[in-house]
Amino acid sequence: DAKTTQPPSMDCAEGRAANLPCNHSTISGNEYVYWYRQIHSQGPQYIIHGLKNNETNEMASLIITEDRKSSTLILPHATLRDTAVYYCIVRGKWNSGNTPLVFGKGTRLSVIA
Amino acid sequence: DSGVTQTPKHLITATGQRVTLRCSPRSGDLSVYWYQQSLDQGLQFLIHYYNGEERAKGNILERFSAQQFPDLHSELNLSSLELGDSALYFCASSEGGIGGTEAFFGQGTRLTVV
């Protein structure tokens, strides 16, 4: 699976949009981009994933560049409860099941009141 | 609530002992993954089972073993425990289909070896 590069930490003011970048320049054509977050020692929580089109759900939006070498996770109105470590993961798939998620160090997002 | 259940939530045991961690995946999920998270190592993938068969191994020690049973629940066995095995152990499950599906994590078992 392709490696990802994320900034180690970011701050965001409460109520503002949080834009978390991720570089994955070695991504291959059948690999998905996944985002998870972990709030203080809880189990990682799935946020969103995409292949090449932008995606949006109730939690966030995922913007993937046309060349797929980078992506941005957008939390539209960050709250204090969004303070967490955010992981960007590139993940391939097998014919009979998904490959494991390999976590890097992620970005520690601090939402400030 | 992710639908993945891990038991016990907390476990304290002595060095040299053996423990078993249990994971019940979400209903219908065929894949189970185990992860270890210690303070200095981050989330480390240990092992993956799909429909009862081992599919991939990560950084799993020989003292550790796992299995997935016919009802799809999984157990992680840790033996000859050392102080350094103290960590959070997470289980995750996913459908395991050919599409890009997400994995859901349990709340973990906190193991303390004293």
Q: Say yes or no: A3 contacts chain B, CB-CB below 8 A.
A: no
- If pLDDT is split at 50, 70 and 90, which confidence band does B4 have? very high
β-strands A93-94, A97-98 pairing: antiparallel
CB B49 within 8 A of CB B60: no
A100 and B45 within 8 Å at the Cβ level: the answer is yes
Q: Do B100 and A45 touch (CB under 8 A)?
A: no
Which chain B residue is nearest to residue A51, measuring alpha carbons? Answer: B100
Substitution target in B105, B111, B112 with the highest count of A β-carbons within 10 Å is B105
Percentages helix, strand, coil for chain B, rounded to the nearest 5? 5, 55, 45
| Alpha carbon of A113: minimum distance to chain B alpha carbons (Å) | 27
* B60-95 tens-digit pLDDT: 999 999 999 999 999 999 999 999 999 999 999 988
In angstroms, what CA-CA distances link B47 with A15, B27, B51, B66, B81? 39, 20, 13, 8, 18
For residue B42, is pLDDT > 90? no
Distance of residue A72 Cα from the nearest chain B Cα, in angstroms: 18
Residue B98 binned pLDDT confidence (cut-offs 50, 70, 90): very low
pLDDT at A33: 92
